Every structure is written in C-alpha cells, then in structure tokens.
A and B are shown apart, each in its own frame.
Chain A
Amino acid sequence: MTTVQDLGRFGHQAKGVNPTGAMDHISMRLINILLGNDENEAVIEFHYPTPTITFEEHAIFSIGGADFSPSLNRKPVANWKIHTAAPGDMLTFGKKQKGERAYLSVKGGFKLPKVLGSSSTNLRAGFGGLKIIKGMSLDLNLKNGTLFEASKKIALAPKTVNVALRPYIKNEQEIRIIGGAELDSLDQDSRNKIFGQRFIVSGHSDRMGYRLEGDCINRNSESEIISSSVAFGTIQLLPDGQLVILMADHQTTGGYPKIGNVISTDLPFLAQLSVGQHITFREISIDVAEKIVLKQEKEIKKFKASVKLYS
C-alpha cells in the first residue's frame, strides 16, 4: 500500500476525525530536513512489495525509513542521501533489507491540496492525501527553473542523515512506555506478564493497530471502562487477554483498559517491525519520557541547523 502522509491532521478529533499521518514520523522528518523542506511536508509512504516510480520532471529526492535496496536506472542509490533525477529516470527497489515502511520525499514537496490543514491520507474516511495506485502521477511544487535555483544550494548541504538519528531497526525491540490510566488496576501477576514476557507482532497488524500475541493477561476487575480519547501508541487490553497497540490510523476514542502508551521516540521502531518479530515492554515515568524526547529533539535541531547553514 502506498499513501501520501505528513505529520497528521490534528484539531478535529472532537468531531471524530482521526489524525492519521506517517507511521515512522522520525524518518519522514529527517529526509524532509535533509532536503531543506518543511518537516511536515507530505511524503510518500510505501511498503514491500514496492512501487516503481518514474520521474516525469527533474526532481531532487531522498528516501528514508525501511531499506528496500533502491536503484535509479538500475544503479544503486542509498537511503538517507540526496539524489537527483531527470525526466524518464526510473526508481526501482530490490531486496527488502530491513524495516517495513519507506518514505520518499521530493525537494519542495508534492502539489496536493490540504484538507483540514493536512495532506495525510485518511483511508477509512476516504478523504485527504492520496492512496496511490498503479498509473497515477503526482505533480511537484518545484520544477525546472525554481528547482535548479534550489539545487544550487543543496549541493553544499550535508549529504546524509547522521546514522545516530536514523531509527535503529533490529529483530527484537524493547519498547518504552508510560503507564496508562488502567495499569494500576492490574494485579502483580498481570503486570509481570506485561513487563516480563516477549510479545509477537501478529499477522493482524496494520496502520490502525498491531495485535500482539503472548500469554493471556487477566484484568481481575469488573468495573466497566467508559470510552475516552486514545493516541498513537496507546496499548489496550482486549477482552480476550491480548494487547493491541494503536498505530497512526487509530480511531479517536477507545473503550478498553489502557495499559500504557509507547513513547513517541519508540513509535518508529514499532512502525518498522515485521509480523512475527518480538517486542518487550519497559515502563518509564513521564518525566524520563520527556527527557528522552528532549534529547532526540536536540539532536534533530542540530542536524537541522547544519542543513540551514547552506540553504
């Protein structure tokens, strides 16, 4: 599946409009920064099996996130770098090296109308962004003259995203979470099961949520939960004793017990996990979570400043 995504459509959840947006928001931001784009510029999110992309105009582009062995006119091009394409050039992909979701950004972005302030694709409601299918073509904001002007500056810019900033993709991932509103209502045995076992990402996992498989967790409480807001990363305990992690296309509200919420720096790891891979959970305080985000944002800011020097 190939869609257009940005950082999501916020401001209308009170009307039930779910934010959607890129699953691996860090990879998306990084390649936009690399190209000197706005961090929120819409990108193409794609999966394996991959699309083949033909350039009909000159373009400057970058790919990030999952590594699907990209080639331009059969010559390998690397992720996290700046590339140029001429009319007729063909971007193809080969072996799936690691990760599940790749991002393609072009200098200046795609020409797409924003709906309610965002270009993200709301697949369920069928509006905004674009679900891209074979044969479609997308217009670019920067063409010929304006693009060449922009490209003069880019030649001097840092040519790659620091390795330390890229979401690190491995086979078994520790996911850090802050405790949810109903975590304290669980007994010690259930807590041990959440923080002491390895969960498998099940086949029922998509942009809406990941169903996990593990030892059944009991909630020894009869008290009914009244639905309230949920977020990207909310972990809910389902009536069958299994966990679900809500992902980018989650709905705005949920009525199952909230065990916790994956911290935003770890969402990209989840976004890049494959079915069958393992995760474990570790609980951290909101205070520590904020410090982790702060540290990452500092590094991203530094990277951004190094790009700005040249643009």
Chain B
Amino acid sequence: MNYRIHPLSENAITLYFEQKISPEINDLVIASCLWIEENSFPGFIEVVPAYASLTVFYDLVELINQGYKSPFLFVKSKMQEIPFESLKTGNKPKNLIEIPVEYSGEDLQIVGRHSKLSEKEIIKLHTEPEYRVYMMGFLPGFAYMGGLNQKLATPRKKKPRLKVPAGSVGIAGAQTGIYPLESPGGWQLIGHTDKKLFDPSDRKLSLLSTGDYVKFKAV
C-alpha cells in the first residue's frame, strides 16, 4: 500500500494515500478511520477523514504523562498497524440520502448564462447524479461532494455575499454543496432545501457524513 505519514502538529498526524479523488481511495480512508476507532490507544482524541487522507488527533500531554518518550513515534506506529490490504471496503450498502430542493436560487440565471442551459436543463442535470460526500469541512455539517456534471461548473461570485441563508444549495467551480448554516459565501445559489444539515442538539449532529451519497430531488 502506497502512503505517506506526516506530522500535522505535535498533536496530530496525517496519513496520505495516493493524492487522487476517487471513491476507492475515499473508501480506504473511511475503513482506515473505522479501524483506528475500533483499535483506539492511550491519548487518542479523534480521527478525521478527508478526500485521500486521514488525520489522527491525540493528547500529547496525556501521552507524556503516561510515560511515552515520543508520542509522535507511538501514534505513527499505531497508524502503520492499520491492515490496509485486508480492510473491508466497498461492500458496505450505499447510504443514499435524498434532499428535496426548491430550485429558485438567486443565481440560477448566472449559471444558465454561463452554461448556456435553460432552468429546466440545469435542474435536470443537477438532480441526475448520485453525489458522493468525500469530506466534511468548511462549516459544521458542510459536505464536499463530487459528481457535478461539468456542464454546470460555474465560477464563484467575485464578491461573496455577506449572508447566505442556511439550506442554500449552490455551485462553486466544479463543486456543488449545501450551506448548513447562515454564513458569508461566494457560491452561486441555485436552490434551497428545508432539510436540516447540522443540529448540535441532535445525536447524529450532521445529516451527511463522509462516504454518503446525495440525490437532489426537485420540489
């Protein structure tokens, strides 16, 4: 297995697989995270998946207090123990989440002009794919998704909006995404969903997780 391990800080280590955006590598990331969680160790805080890497956060002070001479070498060795070749990937049932969207976004016309497509065609192309969630980040509950039809790719707004409402569905470059919270942002807004993407009082916290699939449904 090809990978590279690099300290992110003295409290975190990142393991990089081949730096490529693919469901196979992302599956490997998710399976590795699961293995780490199931084989936790002293000082372990959390493991965070990204597109083609995972990062383990650990409590350096706790490890020092427990007598570990080099917490970095200790945690690195734990990450090297991941049985990459025998990890079960890909045979998990697909977690497909349907998100109802009202396609009435303020920037629908901009996307239309850029893509030379009608509103109807934009909606058709946007609701067609099953988008894969490759990574969570940017905001709590925000999913970086892959699979946007390249005909819909539209550059960000030159001047970001100061307030994009929660639930806004947008396009930025080759990506599509949903704002889980009100936030400033430069995405071209094409629609809105009433689904709650992030709720700190809910046990699940976030509607979406890395590895999930999303299908938009026009309402």
B167 to chain A, nearest CB (A): 14
A13 and B57 in contact, given A124-B139, A226-B51, A233-B9 (Cβ under 8 angstroms): yes
Q: List 10 A-B contacts (CB under 8 A).
A: A12-B140, A12-B205, A14-B136, A15-B141, A15-B206, A16-B141, A126-B181, A229-B50, A264-B10, A290-B72
Complex: chain A residue closest to B6, CB-CB: A181
Residues in A lying within 8 Å of B, measured CB to CB? 10-18, 115-116, 122, 124-128, 178, 180-181, 225-234, 251-253, 258, 261, 263-264, 286-287, 289-290, 293-294, 297
CB of B84 closer than 8 Å to a CB of A: no
Instruction: Tell me if B136 and A15 are in contact (CB < 8 A).
Output: yes
Instruction: Tell me if A125 and B14 are in contact (CB < 8 A).
Output: no
CB of B60 closer than 8 Å to a CB of A: yes
Could you say which of B41-49, B89-97, B149-157 contacts chain A?
A: B41-49
A124 and B200 in contact, given A14-B46, A293-B64 (Cβ under 8 angstroms): no
Residues in B lying within 8 Å of A, measured CB to CB? 4, 6-12, 14, 16, 19-21, 33, 45-53, 55, 57, 60-61, 64-65, 70-72, 135-144, 180-183, 198, 200-201, 205-206, 209-210
Closest 7 A-B residue pairs measured CB to CB? A253-B137, A229-B55, A16-B136, A15-B206, A228-B50, A261-B9, A228-B53
Instruction: Tell me if B205 and A228 are in contact (CB < 8 A).
Output: no
Complex: chain B residue closest to A115, CB-CB: B200
| B contact residues around A13 at 8 Å (CB) | 46, 48, 57
Q: Which of B45, B137, B180 contacts A10 (CB 8 A)?
A: B45
A181 and B14 in contact, given A11-B45, A126-B181, A228-B55 (Cβ under 8 angstroms): yes
Complex: chain B residue closest to A128, CB-CB: B200
Instruction: Tell me if A286 and B7 are in contact (CB < 8 A).
Output: yes
Report Cα–Cα, A124/B21, bound state, in Å.
28
Instruction: Tell me if B64 and A17 are in contact (CB < 8 A).
Output: no
| A contact residues around B10 at 8 Å (CB) | 178, 261, 263-264, 286, 289-290, 293
Instruction: Tell me if A286 and B72 are in contact (CB < 8 A).
Output: yes
Report Cα–Cα, A124/B179, bound state, in Å.
12
Complex: chain A residue closest to B20, CB-CB: A226
Q: Which of B47, B52, B206 contacts A16 (CB 8 A)?
A: B206
Instruction: Tell me if B140 and A230 are in contact (CB < 8 A).
Output: no
Complex: chain B residue closest to A263, CB-CB: B10
| A contact residues around B64 at 8 Å (CB) | 290, 293-294, 297
Report Cα–Cα, A125/B181, bound state, in Å.
7
| A contact residues around B71 at 8 Å (CB) | 290
Complex: chain B residue closest to A296, CB-CB: B61
Instruction: Tell me if B8 and A15 are in contact (CB < 8 A).
Output: no
A16 and B19 in contact, given A226-B52, A232-B9 (Cβ under 8 angstroms): no
| A contact residues around B210 at 8 Å (CB) | 14
| B contact residues around A181 at 8 Å (CB) | 4, 6, 8, 14, 16
